Each structure stands twice: as C-alpha cells, then as structure tokens.
C-alpha cells in the first residue's frame, strides 16, 4: 500500500488570518485507504468549514494537543511555513525532529524565512516546499502555487475594487458619463490572468505586462491591452515556462516602460514571480508618489518579497492617498475553495513522493528536486541559497 505504516499529521494552522487546512476529509479518506494513520488536530478544519466529525468519519484520529501530532507523525502536512506557537510558547520547528518530513509552503528564498529553513536543515528535517513545484504537465495536479494563485488573483482584485473611490465600469448618469477604472496587471501568470478576467467582468479597462510572450498571448485572449516590454525570449523564459530573473539593465528598462501606465492606473495588481527566488522590484517609490490619490496597489507577490518598493509584508499602507496592500496569504481569505484545491494538490504530491510506505527522494524527478529544501542536515534549495548569498 502506498502509505502503509506511515503516520501523517495534520496540525491546525496558527498564522494570523489563516483558515485553510492541509487535508480535508476526502483526502484523509484516501490516505487511510492507502494504509496511512492520519492524526488531525481537533478544530484544524473548522476555519474551512470541515468539522471534526467529518474527519473522524473519514478515518482520522482526532488529537487534542498539537504537540502529540508532531511527536507521533512521520510526515507533517501544513499550509504555511512553521512559526512561533504563541499559545504554547514554542516554535513549530522545535516540535519537529531529526528524520521527520514536512511538506508545506516554506517560501525559503524570502529573507524572513531564512533562519527558519536553516533551523529545519540543522535539525535534520526532510523539508519540501510546494512553491518549488515546476510548471510541467506531470505536476499540474500537484501545483498548489497555481491553485492558490487563482484565488489570490480573484480575491486581490476584489479587495482593490472594494476600496476604490469610484466605479469599475463605465456608468451613464443623468449628469454625464463616468469613465471606467483602469486596471494594470504586472505578471500574467495564473494570479495575473485571474485578476484580469475578474477586472474585465467588472467592466474595467485592462492592460497587462509580462516578459514572457506566451503569457502575453493568454492575457490578450482576455481582452487586455498588452504593454510590450521588449525582453528577448532567451532572457525571459526559465525552467518550466516561468519567468527568469532579468539582468539589471533589462529590469531598469522594464520599469521605465511601465512607469506611465502605472501612474495613470486606478488599480495595479502585482504578481510577477520568479520560482524559488525573491520577487523583482518593479514599481518604484517614484511611481507610487506620481499615482492619483485613491489608487490601489495590491502586491500579490508579497510572500516572495513584493514587486513594489514600498510594500510591507502584512500591512496596508497609505502613501499620499495611494493604498499599497501587502496582505499576506490572500488565499487564506477564501478558505473553503482554497482548502479543497490545496488538499488535493498536497495529496497528489505525496502520492508522487511516497511508495510502499517509504519516502523516495528521487533527485532525477524534477518535481522532487525542485521542491526539496533540506536533506541530511543540509540546506539544498538553490533559490534560498542564492538569496542568502551562499554558494550551493
């Protein structure tokens, strides 16, 4: 049996505002059917509207104390990176042990997580990050980043629209015509495309920019005006079809081209990411200060450092009347839909990683190699090492 003899732990997420959970009753039932013992912390699914009795009916063992979940599990499944458990006065990393496995979003390249991932490595934890899964056909069912990006693009646009001091669509009134809002999306991956589609449905004028030609073609099919950045394909497209880190001179050129579009926008959605690395800073302080008061920037890339120079993780700022939203974890604001997607993604990822009750760290498998963060006491994630200035 695939998971035969393994104990899988599902703790409740403790990050502020996080309501998702890493497994739902349907995926627990599958794991149990394939030989796993599944420990679920009591109340873990309540924020996503999955109840304890649903988990029990699926075959899970409910555990009152999260420390027991960590102590007994071979594999810990989480949504967000380990953080300090204020109620217990202990960091989640300190509840992990040598030889244990954790699968979650670690965002290892983000500076705020560097000490945490170093500690995971030092403790001898086998750690995998779901944001490292490559964009290849075989990995589509495991691609939690794309799933969560769908939610982030949709919800991020609605957050900005809700704060906007004007209509999104063109509106005719007895005293004249009100012009539609202008929405600019930078980075038209999954999140950016969803933001564009949502903005279009709300009647806004949409423009977008991406350094990848294929991404621009997809945006064009949604009715977006394409801002041509003129970046050669060989500089733009990296492994798995994701964007590559641009040389400084090309990033400066991108900023210069984008500046007038950013300045006249009512809403700017920032979702330009480089897998496993810090997000590029595209919107500068000067651009923000030239924008109209009442304009909104939502920096969806904030978990990887942010695309706006002024963004602050977890904060909503007012800079001269321009709102810069650095809300972390936007998918956590739509927990039921997010959990349904995430739980299936992580189950499929585990099914690729585990066979006959054994974890197989097959480095010839691109999915595993790209998502591995620490193994045998060493930090091995290329993006994290680069961000730390450490040669791998």
Catalytic residue among 143, 299, 303, 325: 143
Alpha helix positions (H), 34-97: 52-57, 66-72
Q: What is the DSSP letter of 313?
A: T
Please indicate whether residue 140 is annotated as part of the active site: yes
Buried b (16+ CB within 10 A) or exposed e, 123-147: bbbbbbbbbbbbbeeebeebbbbbb
Catalytic residue among 146, 313, 351, 355: 146
Catalytic residue among 97, 138, 140, 252: 140
- Strand ranges across the sheet with 372-375: 61-63, 37-41, 7-10, 75-77, 101-104, 126-129, 372-375, 378-379
- Residue 248 to residues 10, 238, 245, 255: CA-CA distances in angstroms? 43, 17, 9, 11
- Report the 3 state secondary structure along 121-162: HHCCCEEEEHHHCCCCHHHHHHCHHHHHHHHHHHHHHHHHHH
Please indicate whether residue 52 is annotated as part of the active site: no
Please indicate whether residue 242 is annotated as part of the active site: yes
265 SS3 class: coil
Tell me the chain's radius of gyration from C-alpha atoms.
22
Please indicate whether residue 347 is annotated as part of the active site: no
Query: Does residue 272 contact residue 186 with C-beta atoms inside 8 Å?
Result: yes
**In which residue are the tokens 């779901």 written?**
130
Please indicate whether residue 143 is annotated as part of the active site: yes
Catalytic residue among 242, 261, 347, 349: 242
Catalytic residue among 135, 163, 313, 365: 135
38 SS3 class: strand
**In which residue are the tokens 């423009």 written?**
207
Catalytic positions: 135, 140, 143, 146, 242
């Amino acid at each position: 049996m695939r998971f035969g003899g393994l104990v899988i732990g599902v703790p409740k997420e403790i990050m502020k505002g996080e309501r998702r959970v890493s497994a739902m009753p349907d995926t627990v039932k599958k794991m149990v059917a394939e030989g796993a013992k599944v420990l679920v912390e009591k109340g873990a699914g309540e924020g996503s509207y999955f109840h304890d009795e649903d988990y029990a009916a699926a075959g899970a063992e409910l555990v009152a104390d999260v420390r027991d979940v960590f102590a007994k599990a071979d594999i810990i499944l989480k949504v967000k990176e380990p953080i300090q458990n204020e109620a217990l006065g202990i960091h989640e990393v300190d509840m992990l042990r040598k030889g244990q496995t954790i699968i979650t979003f670690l965002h290892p390249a983000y500076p705020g997580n560097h000490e945490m991932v170093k500690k995971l490595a030092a403790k001898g934890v086998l750690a995998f990050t779901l944001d490292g899964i490559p964009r290849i056909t075989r990995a589509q069912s495991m691609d939690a980043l794309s799933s969560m990006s769908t939610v982030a693009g949709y919800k991020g646009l609605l957050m900005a629209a809700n704060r906007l001091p004007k209509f999104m669509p063109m509106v005719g009134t007895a005293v004249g015509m009100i012009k539609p809002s202008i929405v600019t999306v930078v980075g038209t991956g999954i999140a950016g495309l969803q933001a564009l589609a949502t903005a279009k449905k709300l009647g806004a004028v949409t423009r977008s920019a991406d350094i990848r030609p294929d991404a621009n073609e997809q945006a064009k099919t949604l009715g977006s005006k394409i801002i041509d950045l003129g970046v050669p394909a060989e500089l733009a497209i990296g492994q798995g079809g994701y964007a590559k880190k641009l040389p400084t001179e090309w990033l400066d050129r991108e900023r210069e081209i984008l500046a007038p579009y950013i300045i006249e926008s009512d809403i700017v959605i920032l979702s330009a990411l480089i897998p496993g690395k810090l997000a590029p800073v595209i919107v500068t302080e000067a651009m923000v200060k030239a924008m109209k008061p009442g304009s909104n920037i939502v920096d969806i890339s904030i978990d990887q450092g942010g695309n706006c120079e002024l963004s602050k993780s977890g904060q909503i700022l007012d800079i001269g009347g321009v709102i810069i939203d650095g809300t972390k974890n936007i998918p956590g604001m739509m927990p039921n839909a997010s959990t349904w997607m995430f739980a299936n993604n992580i189950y499929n990822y585990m099914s690729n990683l585990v066979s006959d009750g054994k974890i197989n760290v097959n480095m010839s498998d691109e999915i595993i190699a790209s998502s591995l963060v620490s193994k045998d006491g060493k930090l091995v994630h290329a993006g994290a090492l680069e961000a730390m200035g450490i040669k791998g």
